[in-house]
Amino acid sequence: MTQTTDIQGQIADTVQLLRAKLGIKDKTLTASVRKAKRRLPRRIYKQAMLLARAEQMAAHPKLRLVLDTPKLAQASEEVQTHLTAINLADRRWGWFLSFLGSLALGFLALSALVLVVLRWRGFI
Q: How far apart are CA 104 and CA 24, in angstroms?
A: 31
pLDDT attached to residue 5: 57
Residue 2, pLDDT above cutoff 70: no
CB atoms within 10 A of CB 34: 15
Contact 29, 55 (CB under 8 A): yes
Q: Could you report the per-residue pLDDT of 69-85, keeping only the tens digit for each? A: 899 999 999 999 999 99
Q: Could you report the per-residue pLDDT of 14-70, keeping only the tens digit for each? A: 999 999 999 999 889 999 999 999 999 999 999 999 999 999 898 888 888 888 889
Delimit the domains of the chain by residue range. Answer: 2-86, 88-124
Q: Could you report the per-residue pLDDT of 98-108, keeping only the tens digit for each? A: 999 999 999 99
